[in-house]
Amino acid sequence: MTDRGELNPANTRADIEACEHRVLGALERAGYSEAARFAVRLSLEEALVNAFMHGHRGLPPSTPVHVQYTITPEAVRISITDQGPGFDPARVPDPTSDENLELPSGRGLMLMRAYMTSVHHEDHGRTLVMTYDRGHAERAQAEAS
């Protein structure tokens, strides 16, 4: 069973929540655990907020990002493409280093990397692709506990 969808949320809380609701509903139907849904919800929230706050800086809030998702019982793949100028993800500073720990911003990308199985950028940073592999996540959880 594969659940696929595309959405074009604008920078409003209602659009962001509708997007999260759709993806989380698909996860629930595919039998993902509460921990998995927490991970994906948090990552999707951070990815959307980053796309609007950084990617769409200076653009009207009505400018949508393009979200595509594919959910199977084994894995989740979500891509978010913004209409901004792109960026170099390698230049995002490490927010956990001593000199950055007290800076109020810069944690979104690291949270996505911590909660998802993989996170990478395409098209000069305009597209973020993240995956959640159920088997990988369950093995990691078993090892951690």
Partner 1 sequence: MPASESRLKVKREASIIEVGFRDRNILDEANIQQIGEEIKALLAAEAQPKLLINFADVDHLSSAALGQLITINNQIRALKGQLRLSNIDPQIFQVFVITKLNKLFEIHDSAEKARASFR
| Cβ proximity to partner 1, 94 vs 123, nearer residue | 94
Q: What is the spatial distance between Cα 30 and Cα 72, in angstroms, rounded to a whole number?
A: 7
Sheet strands (E) in 11-133 = 66-71, 75-81, 118-122, 127-133
> Which of 1, 2, 6, 13 touches partner 1 (CB under 8 A)?
13
Contact 11, 52 (CB under 8 A): yes
Listing from the earlier edge strand, what are the strands of the sheet with 3-7?
3-7, 66-71, 75-81, 127-133, 118-122
Binding-site size, partner 1 (CB under 8 A): 21
- Is 41 near partner 1 (CB under 8 A)? yes
Q: CB 23 → partner 1: shortest distance, Å?
A: 14
Q: CB 4 → partner 1: shortest distance, Å?
A: 25
- Is 75 near partner 1 (CB under 8 A)? no
- Is 46 near partner 1 (CB under 8 A)? yes
Tokens of 70: 């594919």
Query: By the criterion CB under 8 A, which residues form the site for partner 1?
Result: 13, 35, 38, 41-42, 45-46, 49, 53, 95-96, 101-105, 107-108, 110-111, 114
